Structure 1
Amino acid sequence: MSDDELANILEQINPKDFTWSFWFTLPLYPYSKRRTLRQEIIKDTIWTFDQMQGIFYVIVPIRMTVVKLDEGGLFVYAPVAPTPECIRLVNELVAEHGDVKYIILPTISGLEHKVFVGPFARCFPHAQVFVAPNQWSFPLNLPLSWLGLPPKRTYILPADSSQTPFADQFDYAILDTIDLGSGKFAEVAFLHKRSHTLLVTDSIISVPENPPAIIQLDPYALLFHAKDQAADIVVDNQANRRKGWHRITLFALYFRPSALEVPSWGGVLRDAFTAPEKSYKAYFGLFPFKWRHDWQRSFDALQGNGRLFVAPILQTLILNRAPRETINWANKVASWDFRWIIPCHFDAPIKAEPQQFRQAFSFLEKQPAVSPGLPEEDFKLLREIDAGLYKSGIVPQAQEKV
């Protein structure tokens, strides 16, 4: 998307259109203000709706996908915040292609997806809601109706995908519930047969070289992370936006990559006094980051020219608890005929073949055909977190590779 197109979008938006009043249920940046960008992926067939969210300006896209049904009507995968702007954009499709018929919650653990399903469903009172099996909540395991899902039209996705009213157009594969001790993880991948498009939630991603359009609508976070020190005044240009995006990606996927050094708090506080911006928005001048001169190498290795991979957090803390189940699920998905993948985060759509999807899970195999290629040194903090959680009895021990 060009700068002129982004400027045009900004001019047409009423700030009230992207207000999300229930932001406190999941208090993530940008809190009560969430913009939505709609993109047509396949003409008159598939659209994505991107919003953004994060912590401490570490922001990434969160995405809903809408598919036109053959008989008319719409299929919604992983709803986002139903702001007035978002619902208006959906209703534009409704006016042309028919009402929302099905709403899918494809995960059981991702609060950033679950929290929007009930409010979104209330905007479309005739839609049936289908959710991944074995839903749970913390600290109390509450009924789905108590979580805001409409009780009279909410259904559990059956193990057999042929038993759903959309079986002629979609197949799906459920990654069996992975026990994480204090919680669970599961995901449901959907195949839209006619367009040869795979819809996934968190399991697979591809990182774009440039910041996504939704992130560039408000570049403050990009420029904040483009700083090298608290005293920097960063010029708003594409080079600095790209620099900030690369660092945000490393934060989001590794927490603390090897290229990042954490300075002493004494030094951070001293630097804050000389920072040119000391507002609340700028965290009062606090900038507790120090990047090594070769930090770009970590991003380049992670991004890998846009290749498919499993997020390091999932590799280290979740999927390694059930390698056999995950490989079986990946094999089933890879048996489908798809040419495009639309994840709920980072880049989309991704042009990819089934073998590329399957290859991304080779980190779970003792002798993978191809190495995933992510630098082991960048996993250091995640390995320490994993060991600490296991030692504390919070999560079960990781299983051996298959």
Structure 2
Amino acid sequence: MTLDERVKTLTAVSDADRLWRFWLTLPIYPYSQRRTLRTEIVPDTIWTFEQLQGIFYVVIPIRMTVVKLAGGGLLVYAPVAPTGECLQLVNELVAIHGDVKYIILPTISGLEHKVFVGPFARAFPQSQVWVTPDQWSFPVNLPLSWLGLPIGRTHILPTDADRTPFGNEFDYAILPSIDLGPGQFAEVAFLHRPSRTLLVTDSIISIPIAPPPIVQLDPQALLFHARDRASDIISDTPAHRLQGWQRICLFAMYFQPTSLEIRQWGNTWLESLTAPDRSRQNYFGLYPFEWQSTWQQGFKDLHAGGKLLVAPILRTLILNRAPTETIAWVDRVAQWDFERIIPCHFDAPIMATPDDFRAAFAFLDAPDSALPKSDLQLLQQIDRQLVRWRIIFPAKHRS
């Protein structure tokens, strides 16, 4: 099915079907209206369901993966918002392949994943929910039932996959909880052996050179970031969509890459007065960004030919707090036989081998030269400040 055909299918759905009523639990774009795009990845076996998430139009895909079980029924990895449209697309698979049997929460720290599990499980009352060990909540650590997970059918993933009802088809490896001080980080990588497909949450990504279909359904975010100044009138062209997407990726990965300067708010406000669009949807004409000509090279370095990448924030603030444990987890995953990876964000599926997966974490073994040091400066400054304030623990070296 082409993108145009998918758009026609989605536009036939009403706004009420795209409504996410509980958007205030995580009040980020696109707020209460969430479109869903379903894509078949492995014929008659694996499907992805994509929605959007972001702040200040820095929007990226968030992805749920659904796998058909050999004995009938479906396994859901990392649910997205169960809007009417999303549930309709899932139920089309249920009608053919059987009920949703298992729902997997594969992370302990990603609120954008955790917040949807309870509502999704309530839509499929016959399902079992399996969650990563060491779940926690902030500012108070609450019981799982208080977080909306169903009582009586929520289970903790054991260390051994053979002790689960889906262990005959799946292997999984739990990255041990990394203590960050105010919170923890962990995720579970799942291997679907029959299709040789690896499912991961946040640990690995690949940056697509062009905006994904789910982002192109509504190009407003792309065109917003394609501008060079508030007064620009940006036409909706493939080139402008491409420029907006590549700048969004730099924002999302580095927060403030070296090619981006933030204008003073006084000048930003004055420039907003001359903006051609001062609507609420366009942030009242406010555009505090000034891109240098080097941004295109910055994206080229980030894209790196589509290679597997560990996101900069994980490199500088999280995984380097437990390098030995992370590499042990990576080595275990790299022993599996897989040919594709489906992460929860950015590109998917990624055709990749275990060696490719292992190579992405080489920065934990040796000084990292894969990304420009200048683009990592802000994250490194944040790291040093958080350590200085004793909010997070210092980075460690491999033992």
TM-score above 0.5 = yes
**2:358 aligned with 1:358:** yes
Mapping 1:324-343, distance limit 5 Å: 324-343=324-343
Mapping 1:215-294, distance limit 5 Å: 215-294=215-294
**2:387 aligned with 1:377:** no
Q: Could you tell me whether the CA contact under 8 Å between 1:366 and 1:401 is conserved in 2?
A: no
Shift of 1:9: 3.1
Give, in whole Å, the separation in 1 of the partners of 2:91 and 2:319.
Answer: 37
Deviation string, structure 1 residues 112-143 (Cα, Å, up to 9, x no partner): 00000000000000101000000000011000
Q: Could you tell me whether the CA contact under 8 Å between 1:204 and 1:343 is conserved in 2?
A: yes
Per mean C-alpha deviation after superposition, the further-off stretch among 270-279 and 27-36 is 270-279
Deviation string, structure 1 residues 256-279 (Cα, Å, up to 9, x no partner): 001101122222112111111111
Shift of 1:13: 2.1
Letter in 1 for 2:19: T
Cα 1:69–1:90 shift into 2, 3 Å: same
**2:396 aligned with 1:399:** yes
Partner of 2:187: 187
Q: Which runs of 4+ in 1 moved over 2 A?
A: 1-7
Give, in whole Å, the separation in 2 of the partners of 1:366 and 1:222.
Answer: 36
Q: Could you tell me whether the CA contact under 8 Å between 2:106 and 2:187 is conserved in 1?
A: yes
Per mean C-alpha deviation after superposition, the further-off stretch among 279-288 and 109-118 is 279-288
Shift of 1:293: 1.1
Shift of 1:5: 2.5
Give, in whole Å, the separation in 1 of the partners of 2:387 and 2:38.
Answer: 42
Q: Could you tell me whether the CA contact under 8 Å between 1:19 and 1:32 is conserved in 2?
A: yes
- SS of corresponding position for 1:376: coil
Give, in whole Å, the separation in 2 of the partners of 1:228 and 1:163.
Answer: 55
Letter in 1 for 2:121: A
Q: Could you tell me whether the CA contact under 8 Å between 1:362 and 1:372 is conserved in 2?
A: no
- SS of corresponding position for 1:129: strand
Shift of 1:4: 2.9
Mapping 1:4-153, distance limit 5 Å: 4-153=4-153
- SS of corresponding position for 1:204: coil
Deviation string, structure 1 residues 283-338 (Cα, Å, up to 9, x no partner): 11110000001210000100011110100010001001000000000000000000
Q: Could you tell me whether the CA contact under 8 Å between 1:175 and 1:329 is conserved in 2?
A: yes
Structure 2: which 5+ runs fail to align?
none
Number of equivalenced pairs: 399
Q: CA RMSD in A?
A: 1.1
Letter in 2 for 1:64: M
**2:323 aligned with 1:323:** yes
Letter in 2 for 1:358: R
Give, in whole Å, the separation in 2 of the partners of 1:401 and 1:232.
Answer: 49
Give, in whole Å, the separation in 2 of the partners of 1:231 and 1:366.
Answer: 46
Q: Could you tell me whether the CA contact under 8 Å between 1:175 and 1:325 is conserved in 2?
A: yes
Shift of 1:7: 4.1
Give, in whole Å, the separation in 2 of the partners of 1:265 and 1:39.
Answer: 42
Shift of 1:3: 5.5
- SS of corresponding position for 2:281: coil
Letter in 2 for 1:56: F
- SS of corresponding position for 2:279: coil
- SS of corresponding position for 2:116: helix
Cα 1:395–1:42 shift into 2, 3 Å: same
Letter in 2 for 1:399: K
Shift of 1:8: 1.6
Shift of 1:229: 0.4
Give, in whole Å, the separation in 2 of the partners of 1:231 and 1:17.
Answer: 36
Q: Normalized against structure 2, the TM-score is what?
A: 0.98
Give, in whole Å, the separation in 2 of the partners of 1:7 and 1:201.
Answer: 26
Give, in whole Å, the separation in 1 of the partners of 2:260 and 2:6.
Answer: 32
- SS of corresponding position for 1:152: coil
Letter in 1 for 2:165: P
Q: Could you tell me whether the CA contact under 8 Å between 2:6 and 2:37 is conserved in 1?
A: no
Q: Could you tell me whether the CA contact under 8 Å between 1:340 and 1:351 is conserved in 2?
A: yes
Shift of 1:366: 2.7
Shift of 1:15: 1.4
Cα 1:2–1:297 shift into 2, 3 Å: farther
Give, in whole Å, the separation in 1 of the partners of 2:36 and 2:343.
Answer: 16
Q: Normalized against structure 1, the TM-score is what?
A: 0.98
Give, in whole Å, the separation in 2 of the partners of 1:145 and 1:245.
Answer: 39
Partner of 2:383: 386
Cα 1:261–1:393 shift into 2, 3 Å: same
